[in-house]
């Protein structure tokens, strides 16, 4: 009887015990898996992690939109330059055409005078043909031109050659202008697409998180200005540019804008230095090479601080470890620490 009551691992109680252990393990795993979704509302652990991830994605989309904005700025500047070049070349072509017309008129007057006096010199008739350059070669071989007539014909040939060169140059610039216009439209579409994605993502945040993000985008404004002791006694064009940039604090970031009421990052730098009588290029990439490169440790107020490996963002150093910049769409011109993102260069204008 004693041996009958002894339990055996292979007896009826073994499987039951294994079942209980398996159920407990499954319950524990389920509980562990469910922790993030059932975090204590009071601590806000799950909400905070989700908020941080979403706002990081919003920031990333804004950074991509800013890169597209700088490409748009560059294409637009190129388009403006080409348009000016086309205008100049078309003016030159028009003047060349006028000169050709005047020379033809003079030769025509000579032919009319000869006709009235009894006939037209065959050489003059050939000079008035559609291809005077071909005749010039033949005439020089035949020695049929007088000195005065040869001079007139040479001037006509030179004028027509110049006219063709101006027309070809204008046509080439027009083709490049059309390419630049397409690039402007393409980059504009890219900016707007990325901004729409960022706005939709921002709208998906809870109201208080969205409000917190908006407050953070305002940055330091009047009444919360950083101490800038390095500006004491600052003069010259750097002083004027710094004063202009600081006066823009609180203005909205608008992509493609260069003042006076709204700015993008490079537009703010261009506008601020224009107030000091200095012309800067339009894009942050070009502004990087608009002066002498200095180490960040030697930065002075008025220096341009270039950010990111592709130089797609720029701010102005204003002393005491601070920059003024237009951060991203949806934000306002503000003060931030100079090391807010990786610095790739400092340019002294």
Q: Which positions are annotated as active-site residues?
A: 265, 313, 325
The structure tokens 């107020």 sit at 301
Q: Is 51 helix (H, G, I), strand (E, B) or coil?
A: helix
- Pairing state between β 343-348 and 313-319: unpaired
Identify whether the C-beta of residue 340 lies closer than 8 Å to the C-beta of residue 348.
Answer: no
C-alpha dist (Å) from residue 216 to 55, 197, 209, 305: 11, 20, 11, 22
Cβ-defined contacts of 252-256 (< 8 Å, 24+): 252/331, 252/332, 252/333, 253/326, 253/327, 253/328, 253/329, 253/330, 253/331, 253/332, 253/333, 254/329, 255/65, 255/66, 255/69, 255/72, 255/191, 255/195, 255/329, 256/69, 256/72, 256/73, 256/76, 256/191
Q: At 252, is the secondary structure helix, strand, or coil?
A: strand
* Burial class for 132, CB neighbours closer than 10 Å (0-12, 13-18, 19+): buried
Distances (CA, A) of 204 to 45, 55, 243: 18, 10, 38
Phi-psi region of 64 (alpha: psi -120 to 50; beta: other; left: phi over 0): alpha
Q: How would you list the strands of the sheet with 304-307, edge to edge?
A: 292-293, 343-348, 304-307, 313-319, 322-325, 334-337
Residue closest to 158 by CA, chosen among 221, 96, 106, 222: 96
Name the nearest CA neighbour of 220 among 318, 341, 343, 329.
318
């Amino acid at each position: 009887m004693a041996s009958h009551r002894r339990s055996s691992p292979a007896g009826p109680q073994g499987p039951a015990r294994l079942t209980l252990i398996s159920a407990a393990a499954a319950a524990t795993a389920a509980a562990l898996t469910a922790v993030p979704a059932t975090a204590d509302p009071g601590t806000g652990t799950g909400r905070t992690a989700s908020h941080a991830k979403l706002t990081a994605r919003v920031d990333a989309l804004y950074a991509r939109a800013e890169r597209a904005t700088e490409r748009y700025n560059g294409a637009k500047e190129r388009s403006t330059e080409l348009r000016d070049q086309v205008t100049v070349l078309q003016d030159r072509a028009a003047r060349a055409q006028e000169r050709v017309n005047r020379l033809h008129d003079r030769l025509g007057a000579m032919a009319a005078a000869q006709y009235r006096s009894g006939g037209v010199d065959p050489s003059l008739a050939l000079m008035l043909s559609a291809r005077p350059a071909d005749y010039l070669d033949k005439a020089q071989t035949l020695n049929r031109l007088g000195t005065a007539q040869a001079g007139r014909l040479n001037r006509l040939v030179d004028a027509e050659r110049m006219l063709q060169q101006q027309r070809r140059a204008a046509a080439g610039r027009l083709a490049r202008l059309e390419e630049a216009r397409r690039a402007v439209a393409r980059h504009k579409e890219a900016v707007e697409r990325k901004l729409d994605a960022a706005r939709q993502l921002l709208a998906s945040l809870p109201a208080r998180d969205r409000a917190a993000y908006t407050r953070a985008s305002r940055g330091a404004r009047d009444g919360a200005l950083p101490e800038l002791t390095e500006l004491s006694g600052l003069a010259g064009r750097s002083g004027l540019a710094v004063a202009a940039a600081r006066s823009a604090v609180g203005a909205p970031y608008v992509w493609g804008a260069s003042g006076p009421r709204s700015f993008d990052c490079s537009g703010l730098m261009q506008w601020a230095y224009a107030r000091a009588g200095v012309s800067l290029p339009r894009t942050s990439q070009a502004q990087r090479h608009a002066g002498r490169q200095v180490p960040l440790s030697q930065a002075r107020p008025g220096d341009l601080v270039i950010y990111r490996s592709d130089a797609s963002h720029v701010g102005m150093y204003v002393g005491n470890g601070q920059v003024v910049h237009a951060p991203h769409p949806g934000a306002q011109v503000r003060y931030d620490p100079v090391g807010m993102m990786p610095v790739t260069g400092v340019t002294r204008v």
